[in-house]
Amino acid sequence: MNLVETENLKKFFDSKKGTVKAVNDVSINVIKGETLGVVGESGCGKTTLGRTILKLIKPTSGKIYFDGKDITNLDGEDMRSLRKKMNIVFQDPVSALNPQMTVYDHLNRPLVIHNMVDSEEEKLRRMVDILNTMGLKAEHLIRYPHELSGGQKQRVCIARALCLEPDFLVLDEPTSALDVSVQSKILKLLDRAKRKFKVSYMFISHNINLVRAISDRLGVMYLGKLVEIGDSTDIFNEPKHPYTQALFKSVPQPDPDEKVEAPLTGQVPSPVNPPEGCAFAPRCPRSQSVCERDNPDLIEAYGRKIACHRYK
Amino acid sequence: MTKDDSYFGEKEIDLEKEIEDLKKKETSQIELVWLRFKRNKLALFGLGVLLMLIIVAIFAPILAPHDPIKTDIYNTRAYPSLEHPLGTDQLGRDTLSRLMYGARIALLIGLLVVFVSGGIGVTLGLIAGTKGGWIDEVIMRTVDAFLAFPTLIFGLALATSLGFGLYPVIIAVGLVMWTRFARITRGEVLSIKNEMFIESAEAIGESKTHIVLRYFLPNILPSIVVMATIQIPWAILAAAALNYLGVGIQPPTSSWGEMVKSGSVYMQFNPLLVTVSGMAIVITVLAFNFVGDGLRDALDPVRRGGK
């Protein structure tokens, strides 16, 4: 059962150099209760995808479904009330909190907007409860963001996103601004919250190992396109798309003696002028002549979906 | 190791107690601002001066030893005496009394101008910054058009065409000044527009109006407050300049600008008039600036916590 689904979603930005095709024809789905990992290099459009799905930026074309309902053209009041069910945690917790608002205010607003509580007492209980789930204490309610550490700020961001008990949460590299010890803690908290609130995650990251640890399914993006999507374990055990293979190979191994071959050569092409055929063809070690002509569609193969001419 | 490492154990937490503790620790916003403000001695001094000025302005009819417009041609340009502690002007009017009544005009102009022009400027700046597009263009080009005139000439022309009195001065100075608020506000809005907390606010379902009022406005408020406290003395000075040039408030109503003007004419006979009225302007201007500095620091939560 799909909680979130996109159909040929496109998001283009106009820039001075031309149209940047940040998200180009992506059809992706998040199944209820799962964690979908989305990986890809910087600039491949994964953050834009997350923001577009939540309608924080308007899609250029395509459709977005939430819980079976088309929300692509939902606007104003209707969209705002739907925000109760979906939320996002951003990469940089410093910028994601209003410096003029205390933690209390940050948790208070969503609860007030969506009429989640009847009394001040109930509200406080809820806040303290969610803070405790996130490993924070009631005393943090009266703190301003600058009085918190980076990890605490991010936990407040997650608490804010979770206090409405949403069905769907986009986690946009929620740990990349934090140091490693805090990262694992946040991941554990996210896992705990998932079980407690029965929320589905879309976990966006460029950290392959992190995604491996947390995802049920995995989507791999390259230059605004989804190139492979399927069961996380399957893909990690046996990546099929040449890009996925190369991406996994480029993860540093903790063995100094192992010979490292550079799996990817060349630069990521500019999203302003993506290659005519398969976007990965210029860097692909297995590219054929058809790859440079035709853009491969996402097709079913090996129990997953792959966009590559090799698997036709 | 941070001390919250132990939180991982899923221990039962006494909510009642936590909430109780919290209520004890909570200090109100205003208290915090005041605590921080208090530490700045200069700002405190400025506030004291301003309070005194306000009291003098309000109670001028009671405090003033003489009628400020009563002339005494046998006792002109007098030096200080018991009867006239700061002497008299060229028409024999008591300088101290005129200074006190002048404070009324000065404060009234300063505050009214800043409230009116600040209100207009901040509103338009917020609209321009958050809406963008052609609305932004229209507002900012209007600002440019206003700024293209030399301010004093513009004010002079306006005050002249609007006639004499207090309100033409306020309108003239206000029309010159709103552009500064608009520019500052728009600039500040643009600088925080791309901060993620704005998008986070959208993500939790805040309406556009609320985002402007709860997220943009509090973050630009410190700059606006500082701007206002710079603009109040500027408005007082501008009004004084207009009075000095002979437009706006007309004699016999006493204004500090007019006093400096007539004092400077008779400086070689009695320098006291121009000195005290000039000093009154300087002290008021400085006091506002000190208070503004203190307020900016006190309103900023990042600085508020510091030592």
The CATH number of whichever domain residue B123 belongs to comes to 1.10.3720.10
DSSP β-ladder status, A18-26 and A168-172: unpaired
pLDDT value for B28: 64
- Residues of chain A in contact with residue B207, where contact means CB-CB under 8 angstroms, are 80
Q: Which of A174-183, A254-263, B49-58, B177-186 has the lowest mean pLDDT?
A: A254-263
- Over chain A, what is the mean pLDDT? 87
> If you average pLDDT over residues B208-236, what whole number do you get?
88
**Residue closest to A53 by CA, chosen among A94, A83, A78, A76:** A83
Q: Which of B22, B202, B206 sits opposite A138 (nearest CB)?
A: B22
> Which CATH number, 3.40.50.150, 3.40.50.300, 3.40.1050.10, 3.30.56.10, labels domain A2-85+164-260?
3.40.50.300
Asked whether the predicted pLDDT for residue B4 surpasses 60, the reply is no
CB contact under 8 A, B204 and A113: yes
Q: Which of B15, B18, B215 sits opposite A98 (nearest CB)?
A: B215
**Residue closest to B231 by CA, chosen among B115, B142, B57:** B115
Could you give the CA distance from residue A197 to residue A266 in angstroms, rounded to a whole number? 44
**Is A112's Cβ below 8 Å from some Cβ in B?**
no
**Is A299's Cβ below 8 Å from some Cβ in B?**
no
Q: How many CB pairs under 8 A join A and B?
A: 111
Name the minimum distance, in Å, from the CA of B112 to any CA of chain A: 28
- Residues of chain B in contact with residue A54, where contact means CB-CB under 8 angstroms, are 203
Q: Which residue has the higher pLDDT, A271 or B227?
A: B227
Asked whether the predicted pLDDT for residue B304 surpasses 90, the reply is no
Residue B247 Cα to chain centre, angstroms: 23
- Residues of chain A in contact with residue B7, where contact means CB-CB under 8 angstroms, are 132, 135-137
Number of structural domains in chain B: 1
Interface pTM (ipTM) of the complex?
A: 0.85
Please state, for a pLDDT cut of 90, what percent of chain B lies above it: 27
Q: Which of B13, B201, B305 sits opposite A147 (nearest CB)?
A: B305
Long-range CB contact pairs, A176-184, < 8 A, 24+: A176/A91, A176/A205, A176/A206, A176/A207, A177/A91, A177/A92, A177/A93, A177/A94, A177/A150, A178/A93, A178/A150, A178/A151, A178/A154, A179/A150, A182/A150, A182/A151, A182/A154, A183/A210
pLDDT value for B230: 82
> If you average pLDDT over residues B121-149, what whole number do you get?
92
Could you give the CA distance from residue A212 to residue A33 in angstroms, rounded to a whole number? 17
pLDDT band, residue B5 (cuts 50/70/90): very low
Mark the ranges of chain A whose per-residue pLDDT is less than 70: 258-263
Asked whether the predicted pLDDT for residue B161 surpasses 80, the reply is yes
**Is A107's Cβ below 8 Å from some Cβ in B?**
no
Interface of B with A (CB under 8 A): 2, 4, 7-8, 13, 15, 18-19, 21-22, 25-27, 195-197, 199-207, 214-215, 218-219, 221, 301-302, 304-305
What are the C-alpha distances in Å from A79 to residues A29, A66, A82, A85, A160?
Answer: 20, 11, 5, 10, 18
Q: Which of B4, B15, B197 sits opposite A97 (nearest CB)?
A: B197
pLDDT value for A220: 93
Q: Which of A31-40, A292-301, B53-62, B94-103 has the lowest mean pLDDT?
A: A292-301
The residue in chain A having the minimum alpha-carbon distance to the alpha carbon of residue B22 is: A139
- Residues of chain B in contact with residue A157, where contact means CB-CB under 8 angstroms, are 200
Task: Look up residue A87 and give its amino acid.
Answer: N
Q: Which of A54, A100, A128 sits opposite B218 (nearest CB)?
A: A100
Longest dimension (CA), chain A: 68
CB contact under 8 A, A124 and B19: yes
Asked whether the predicted pLDDT for residue B8 surpasses 50, the reply is no
**Is A164's Cβ below 8 Å from some Cβ in B?**
yes
pLDDT value for B186: 95
CB contact under 8 A, B22 and A142: yes
CB contact under 8 A, A128 and B197: no
Domain membership of residue B183 (yes or no) is yes
Q: Which of residues 40-99 of A touch B (CB under 8 A)?
A: 51, 54, 56, 80-81, 83-84, 87-88, 90, 92, 95-99
Domain membership of residue B20 (yes or no) is no
DSSP β-ladder status, A69-70 and A225-231: unpaired
**Is A188's Cβ below 8 Å from some Cβ in B?**
yes
The 3-state DSSP class for residue A13 equals strand
CB contact under 8 A, B204 and A83: yes
Q: Domain limits at B151?
A: 30-57+99-304
Asked whether the predicted pLDDT for residue B126 surpasses 90, the reply is yes
Q: Which of A113, A128, A151 sits opposite B15 (nearest CB)?
A: A128
pLDDT value for A260: 63
What are the C-alpha distances in Å from B218 to residues B189, B213, B231, B299?
Answer: 11, 7, 20, 9
Could you give the CA distance from residue A207 to residue A175 in angstroms, rounded to a whole number? 10
Whether B74 and B57 have beta carbons less than 8 Å apart is answered as no
B232-289 per-position pLDDT tens digit = 888 888 888 888 787 877 777 788 888 888 888 888 888 888 899 889 989 998 999 8
Domain membership of residue B83 (yes or no) is no
Q: Which of residues 274-293 of A touch B (CB under 8 A)?
A: none
The residue in chain B having the minimum alpha-carbon distance to the alpha carbon of residue A79 is: B205
Integer distance in angstroms from the first to the last C-alpha of chain A? Answer: 27
Q: Which of B21, B219, B301 sits opposite A139 (nearest CB)?
A: B21
Reading the block at residue A296, the tokens are 């491969």
Domain membership of residue B152 (yes or no) is yes
